[in-house]
Amino acid sequence: MRQVLYLVLTVCLPIMGMSKDLNNRMQGVGYLVIDGFSQDSIGRWQFVSDQVMGGVSTGTLNFELDDEDVVAHMTGSVSTENNGGFIQFRRDISLPESIIGIKLRVRGNNQKYFVHIRTGGTILPWQYYSSEFSATDDWADVFLPLANFSRSSRWLNRTLEASAARSLGIVAYGRDHQADIQVSKIEGY
C-alpha cells in the first residue's frame, strides 16, 4: 500500500506542479514528531465522548507498554443513540506551514477511524477537518495528506493549512460499533 501511495504521489504531484520534496518525506526524511508517546504524553491528551452533548457513547484512553514502546490505546462503544456517535482522544498541536500531511503508526480492530483537526476557524464544537483511515490487526503506517482532509461545514475554508492547526484528535465516529485502536506515533510530513 505504501509503495502504491508513493508511486502515485511521485508521478502525479510533479504533474500537478507540487514540490519534489515529497520524495524525501516519503523516504522517511523530514518527519516532524507530533507525539512519539512516552510518559510525558499522558498529560497532553484528553479523552472526549459524545456525552458532552447528551450522547451515550462510552470509552477509555490508556497509555500502555507494547514491547518497549508506550502506545495510546482507546477502547469503547460508539452509539448514535440520543444524537451522539463519537469517542476520541485529542491534544493541542502547532504545525509549521511546510507540513503537507499526517503520518500515524496504528493498529486496531479492522474498523475505520478518523483524524479530526481543528483550527482557529473551527469555532463551533462540530466544526473540524477530517480524514478517514483503517486500523488493522497489524501495526501499519498511515499517510493522510492535508489536501485530502474534508471540511465538516461549508463555512470553513476549503483547504486545511498546516499552520492553522490547533488540535488533533483520533476519532471513532458516525456509526454504532466497538472501537479499539492503538497509536504509537504521530508525525507531520
- What's the CA gap between 121 and 166, in Å, rounded? 10
The rounded distance, in Å, linking the Cα atoms of 132 and 158 is: 17
- Per residue in 58-106, pLDDT tens? 999 999 999 989 999 999 999 999 999 999 999 999 999 999 999 999 9
Q: Residue 168 corresponds to which cell in the numbers above? A: 488533533
d(CA 112, CA 134): 4
Distance CA 38, CA 18 (A): 35
pLDDT at 25 over 70: no
The structural domains of the chain, with segments of one domain joined by +, span 1-30, 31-188
- The 3-state DSSP class for residue 98 equals coil
Q: Which residue has the cell 497489524?
A: 138
Name the pLDDT band for 23 (thresholds 50, 70, 90).
very low
Confidence tier at 177 by pLDDT (50, 70, 90)? very high
37: which 3 cell numbers?
508517546
β-bridge pairing 177-188 and 69-78: antiparallel
| For residues 167-189, average pLDDT | 98
pLDDT (0 to 100) of residue 139: 98
Q: Which helix (H) or strand (E) holds 8?
A: helix 2-15
Over the stretch 35-58, which tens digit does the pLDDT of each residue have?
999 988 899 999 999 999 999 999
Cell readout for 52 is: 458532552
Domain boundaries 31-188, corresponding CATH code: 2.60.120.430
